[in-house]
């Protein structure tokens, strides 16, 4: 199998859907000549031209809103919001418009729009360039929310997102872009709403998303040395959630840790914990542990930033607690 970085995998997926479907175009800030602030869209302008690879003004409401209108008029736009912190500027269009046109029209309309964005800590940009805001979006009926963590998944899920007839929020993580991984020769579309077991284990399931998947795999290796067998599961799709897949894993291991980089309180993990306690109550041998960022904005000073966001040690500690070794 060939290897791609997460960045190359996203780029390959964008190019693939653009080659196969003329109604797909991409727009966003600095995505054309510059190739995007993360370099994801490099080379697309040269291949597809300026009509289909469009630099926009700094204008998040219009970027998303124009995507919505183009989608309603028969296109399949991809829009890039440079940082998910800036997604907040376009939330009205996402929450009140994209998510609701199909519903309010009684099923007359579809909005096949893919909104790509990225975020994540670990490089000290401060409080406005690294937030993880996926929990804001999973709360809105009408939106699908994807957050793949590996090159294979990001590539396979992106093509599915663009081909889907619903508005899809597609979260990428800044620190994952250089991560390499094996990918199939040809893109294999990955269905929305299916979790992935990345490592099998018997004592505790760590349900992790984004960069925490990789940290969970590290923690699992460390736990193994202590005699704890850890299963690592990535939901990949946050909305709709593969409840059955997550519950099945926890029924096998009888313990669960839920992990994300976003703040723990009111986070995505809270919903997962609620699902597990309700559907696997009789199987649980320990309280569901949650790992996430402390309840503070992201500080600039690296030492403070690293303190706030969850680390491998935090995961290992949570794993130990579930097996009574805390």
Task: Judge whether 129 counts as a catalytic residue.
Answer: yes
- Alpha-carbon gap, residue 208 to 231, rounded angstroms: 11
Strands 204-208, 3-5: pairing kind = unpaired
Choice from 1, 2, 108, 225 touching another protein (CB under 8 A):
108
Span of 31-39, 59-67, 230-238, 303-311 interacting with another protein by CB under 8 A: 59-67
Angle, CA of 145, 309 and 29, to the nearest 5°: 50
CA-CA-CA-CA torsion sign (78, 82, 83, 89) = negative
Beta bridge partners of 25: 77
Residue tagged 């199987």 (tokens): 283
Choice from 120, 142, 210, 292 touching another protein (CB under 8 A):
142
Nearer to another protein, 62 or 222 (CB): 62
Span of 97-105, 125-133, 199-207, 315-323 interacting with another protein by CB under 8 A: 97-105
Please report whether residue 166 would count as binding another protein according to CB under 8 A. yes
Choice from 101, 155, 174, 260 touching another protein (CB under 8 A):
101
Please report whether residue 74 would count as binding another protein according to CB under 8 A. yes
Nearer to another protein, 163 or 252 (CB): 163
Choice from 96, 128, 202, 221 touching another protein (CB under 8 A):
96
Backbone angles phi, psi at 290, to 5 degrees: -120, 135
- What minimum distance in Å lies between the beta carbon of 268 and another protein? 19
Nearer to another protein, 59 or 202 (CB): 59
Span of 9-17, 50-58, 202-210, 229-237 interacting with another protein by CB under 8 A: 50-58
Contact indicator for 247, 280 with CB cutoff of 8 Å: yes
Candidates 80, 84, 101, 129; catalytic one: 129
Choice from 12, 30, 88, 109 touching another protein (CB under 8 A):
109
Please report whether residue 69 would count as binding another protein according to CB under 8 A. yes
Task: Judge whether 60 counts as a catalytic residue.
Answer: yes
Span of 102-110, 128-136, 208-216, 253-261 interacting with another protein by CB under 8 A: 102-110
Please report whether residue 91 would count as binding another protein according to CB under 8 A. no
Nearer to another protein, 95 or 284 (CB): 95
Please report whether residue 77 would count as binding another protein according to CB under 8 A. yes
Contact indicator for 123, 311 with CB cutoff of 8 Å: no
Choice from 1, 2, 73, 186 touching another protein (CB under 8 A):
73
Touching another protein, residues 254-313 (CB under 8 A): none
Please report whether residue 105 would count as binding another protein according to CB under 8 A. yes
Please report whether residue 67 would count as binding another protein according to CB under 8 A. yes
Return residues touching another protein (CB under 8 A). Answer: 25, 51, 54, 56-57, 59, 61-62, 64-75, 77, 92-93, 96-97, 101-110, 112, 141-142, 144, 164-166
Residues annotated catalytic, as ranges? 60, 129
């Amino acid at each position: 199998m060939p290897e791609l970085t997460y960045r190359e995998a996203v780029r390959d997926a964008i190019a693939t859907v653009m080659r196969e479907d003329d109604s797909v175009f991409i727009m966003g800030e600095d995505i054309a000549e510059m190739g995007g602030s993360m370099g994801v869209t490099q080379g697309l302008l040269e291949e597809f031209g300026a009509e289909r690879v469009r630099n926009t003004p700094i204008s998040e409401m219009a970027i998303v809103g124009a995507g919505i209108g183009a989608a309603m008029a028969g296109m399949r736009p991809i829009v890039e919001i440079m940082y998910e912190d800036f997604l907040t500027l376009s939330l009205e269009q996402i929450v009140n418009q994209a998510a609701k046109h199909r519903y309010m029209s009684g099923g007359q309309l579809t909005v096949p729009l893919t909104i790509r964005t990225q975020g994540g800590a670990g490089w000290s940009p401060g409080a406005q360039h690294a937030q993880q805001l996926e929990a804001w979006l999973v709360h809105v009926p009408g939106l699908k929310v994807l957050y793949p963590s590996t090159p294979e998944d990001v590539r396979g899920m992106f093509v599915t997102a663009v081909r889907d007839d619903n508005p899809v929020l597609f979260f990428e993580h800044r620190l994952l872009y250089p991560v390499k991984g094996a990918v199939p020769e040809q893109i294999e579309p990955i269905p929305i709403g299916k979790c992935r077991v990345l490592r099998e284990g018997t004592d505790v399931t760590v349900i992790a998303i984004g960069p925490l998947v990789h940290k969970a795999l590290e923690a699992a290796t460390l736990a193994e040395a202590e005699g704890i067998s850890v299963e690592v599961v990535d939901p990949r799709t946050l909305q709709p959630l593969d409840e059955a897949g997550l519950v099945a894993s926890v029924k096998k291991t009888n313990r669960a840790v839920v992990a994300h980089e976003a703040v723990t309180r009111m986070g995505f993990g809270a919903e997962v914990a609620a699902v597990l306690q309700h559907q696997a109550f009789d199987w649980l041998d320990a309280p569901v542990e949650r790992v996430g960022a402390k309840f503070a904005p992201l500080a600039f000073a690296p030492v403070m930033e690293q303190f706030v966001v969850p680390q491998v040690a935090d995961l290992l500690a949570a794993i130990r607690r579930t097996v009574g070794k805390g």
